[in-house]
Structure 1
């Protein structure tokens, strides 16, 4: 029952966010285009609820020649690939804003486990132990306000499991305001291993961009 209510809340809030934030979208798009060659957005194959594939959207923060589907923290020298505007977008988590579109489409929720990359078999398998692949993935979640970039996969998965066990309005509100506090304090962010609001941001090659 709560998942139905959750979807309605997600739709209303994401629609309001799009209406209010479109000027910011436009400003960031201009900055990205001026800063480096390539598209404003990039899409990336992720695992959604019930392990269904979808393409997550973000503002582009890396060069278009960055190795395909490689988590940022696994690159030999990630700073070489991150653009000037990308550093700011990552530090402030503004690169995650286009995921409002994913939420509007019903592919994501505002709160939930961060969607794993299609090839992150270790994370997907670990989350299966806690049924964390059976709930809507989110822009942010319980694991993200309890460690963010610093968490190991087993610990992150266990925290995602705690979210599943306690899923409800109270838990979502706690995650929402916890995220605002963490972003304001810049807690848990490790540049080069930076994982968006929630998890591994992997780069994509030109074929992944649009």
Structure 2
């Protein structure tokens, strides 16, 4: 679909029209990529023998075939992994950094495969470890060098326009103008824009930002195709004009060029979103549910395991805290309050009571402030050390919360004089995952009273970053950093 490698970089129309047809060889790009595949495979095999010459005085008698087979298996497996990891995809062809990342991923995976295979076949002891380490090192250097040289070569040819396809846009309205602007501004594409074609008279067309020539109507476009001046046509007509689209495509379908349909105007607002197939129908994924599928299972296992282990250690502390609360002031040990959680669903959060029983607020909540007279003596210590939050481990076990995530706020909590959801229109986006006992915002100092709108915006910014970048390692990092943060925090009252 839109991810096919036929449209691959961009240049301005004025530059494209100046190039002669003889200097263009778009197929050379595919030939170059094919050659790069072959050279990288050869590099894997060649470095195996170079490593043998360096690390071994002599290959043991009878082992020549075994070493040769290992090199052959590595060549084939690397070639397969390079395809799987996207070493030759569009975004790697002109980017050394992206290419190196994927090449190293494929080579590391190849090394792991060979070690696993040797272990399972019980032949790993037959091979020299010095040879294996030398081969792995030389192979990495050879692959990185080959990729850098190949990428620089393709970049130079790209700058000369050798790979460029001549593309005409049918439709000189707003949709075609926006498409041309996107192509010209995208350095990854190898396109020379020929110009616009449209059946409407020039005076009926809207003003365009991109100054490309308007050459004529559909008949003129077909004439230029017949003369060999156009390699590809992108139809940029509104999708709502279904009948006209079908007529234009039917006329162009008899010509020997590639025909593509440009995104509708609304689609440009989501140009970075992936296109997938729903059966045979292409659809655009606007937003994924974060931490879903297998990730959701992994995070739940993480919560249950870590929480269960943690409760074993903190239950004696619970008894001490409960006794201290009872001796300090009359009232219950625990305090429960409504909070907004996943999907804006309300749940009852568990906390150790840190305020006087007659001053605890279930609704119309006012956030605690410095020197707040509602807080008890024991409560002040509990809040400063965040021990009052530990009963939320029960919320984690019941699945209402997670160990790490955006902190849950009461529905009526305000920033300044405005409810949180009134300050930021997309505040509810933080409820796309379960709330957490700690979070990315908390370990960066955005904890405690949210008395200004600026503080709320900062918290939301960090919460959304966490949602978009979640990983188990990030969770573990936040948990470890939380312990350090709690020891030095000054914003919890």
What TM-score results when the alignment is normalised by the length of structure 1?
A: 0.82
C-alpha distance in 1, partners of 2:379/2:385?
10
Distance 1:91 1:29 in 2: 17
Gaps of 5+ in 2: 1-293
Which residue of the partner structure matches residue 27 of structure 1? Answer: 320
Q: Relative to structure 2, which stretch is displaced further, 51-60 or 144-153?
A: 144-153
Q: Which residue of 1 aligns with 2:349?
A: 56
CA spacing shift, 1:73–1:157, aligned 2, 3 Å: same
Maintained 8 Å contact 2:405/2:433? yes
Of 159, 177, 181, which residue of structure 1 is paired with 2:480?
Answer: 177
Using the alignment, how far apart are the partners of 1:172 and 1:180 within structure 2?
Answer: 13
> In 1, Cα distance between the equivalents of 2:474 and 2:328?
39
Match of 1:139 in 2: 437
Check the 8 A contact 2:421/2:427 in 1, yes or no: no
Q: Which secondary structure state, in structure 2, belongs to the residue aligned with residue 182 of structure 1?
A: helix
Instruction: Tell me how far apart the structure 1 counterparts of residues 420 and 461 of structure 2 sit (CA, whole Å).
Output: 11
- 1: CA distance between counterparts of 2:392 and 2:435? 11
Residue equivalent to 1:208: none
Matches within 5 A, 1:1-210: 1-66=294-359, 68=361, 69=363, 70-73=365-368, 79-120=372-413, 122-124=419-421, 126=424, 128=426, 131-147=429-445, 148-149=447-448, 152-185=455-488, 187-190=489-492, 194=493
Q: Aligned to 1:71, what secondary structure does the other structure show?
A: coil
Is this contact kept in 1: 2:405–2:435, CA < 8 A? yes
- For residues 458 and 316 of structure 2, the distance between their equivalents in structure 1, rounded to whole angstroms, comes to 38
CA shift at 1:2, angstroms? 1.3
User: Higher relative contact order by CA 8 Å / sep ≥ 6: 1 or 2?
Assistant: 1
Q: Distance in 1 between matches of 2:296 and 2:329?
A: 41
Contact 2:408–2:436 (Cα < 8 Å) also in 1: yes
TM-aligned CA deviation for residue 127 of structure 1: 7.6
- Structure 1 distance, partners of 2:475, 2:356, is 34
Structure 1 unmatched ranges of 5 or more? 195-210
Q: CA deviation at 1:169?
A: 1.1
Q: CA contact under 8 A between 1:35 and 1:84: conserved in structure 2? A: yes
Which one has a bigger Cα radius of gyration? 2
| Change in 2 beyond 3 A, CA 1:53/1:78 | farther
Q: Deviations over 1:82-137 (max 9, x none)?
A: 11110111111100110010001000000000011122474346383583210111
Describe the shift of the 1:25–1:128 C-alpha distance in structure 2 as closer, same or farther (beyond 3 A).
Answer: same
Report the counterpart of residue 203 of structure 1 in structure 2: none
Please, what is the CA RMSD of the aligned residues? 2.1
Label 1:118 to 1:150 Cα distance change in 2 as closer, same or farther (>3 A). Answer: closer
SS in structure 1 at match of 2:448? helix
Find the residue that maps to 2:356 and give its secondary structure. coil
Contact 1:31/1:85, CA 8 A, preserved across alignment? yes
- Match of 1:80, SS? coil
